[in-house]
Structure 1
Amino acid sequence: MEKREINPWTWQDDRNYVQAVEVKNVQSTLYCAGQAAVHPDGRSSDADMKTQLLLAISNLETVIRESGYELKNIVRLNVYTTSNDEFLPHFDILKEWIANNRIRQALTLFHVTNLFETLKVELEATAVK
């Protein structure tokens, strides 16, 4: 597999994402459903944004690893949040997770009216190998 990052600018570097990722010679692609703060028994969390973000990250890690993929091979990450005001103070948590796992992905942040039940943030990823 070959990955090439496309960054016409540098401002996105501080936010730990790239403008585009070209992938060639892919063996397989994993499309993950949105992972949110859902407990192993299926209960949606009603915790604060930070706690929900940490659980959503953990759930995404579980799905990707259980599928036999590596976190560093995430090439697309969509973040859905019901409140930019609540999410943005915790954006550094996501940035640090991305940096620690050497992920170089295209990223889009969506502000949505609501998510399922009491959820505040959801992460949707595409990974390759």
Structure 2
Amino acid sequence: MEKRVINPWTWQNERSYNQAIEVTNVKGTLYVSGQTAINDEGISSTADMKTQLESAIKNLEKVISEGGYEAKNIVKLNIYTTATDELLPHFNILQDWIEKNDIKLALTVLEVVSLFETLTVELEATAVK
């Protein structure tokens, strides 16, 4: 697999994403459903945004690993949140995770009216190998 980053500008670099990612010679693609702060028993978190984001990242990593993929090969991430103003102060958690895993991805953040039950953030990803 080969990835090519497309960035006509430089401002997105400080936000830990790319304008586009071209992927060629792919052996497989994993489309991951939105991962949230739901525990192993299926109970939705009532924790704050920071804690839910950390839990959603762990759940995303678990699904990707179980699928035989690596976090570094996430090429698209959609973030759904019920409160962008609550998410943004904790965005560094996501940025640190992206940097730690050397992830080159296209990223979209969407504020939605609600998520399942008490959830405040959801991560939907596409990974390749």
Aligned residues: 129
Aligned to 2:50: 50
Which residue is 1:109 aligned to? 109
The TM-score, its normalising length taken from structure 2, stands at: 0.99
SS at match of 1:87: helix
Partner of 1:6: 6
Query: Which runs of 5 or more residues in structure 2 are unaligned?
Result: none
Q: Is 1:87 paired with 2:75?
A: no
Alignment RMSD (CA, Å): 0.4
Paired amino acid for 1:61 = E
For residues 70-93 of structure 1, what are the alpha-carbon distances to aligned partners after superposition, in whole Å with 9 as ceiling and x for unaligned?
111000000000001110000000
Residue aligning to 1:76: 76
2: CA distance, partners of 1:109 / 1:86: 13
1:28-47 to 2 correspondence within 5 Å?
28-47=28-47
SS of residue in 2 equivalent to 1:125: strand
Structure 1 alignment gaps of length 5 or more: none
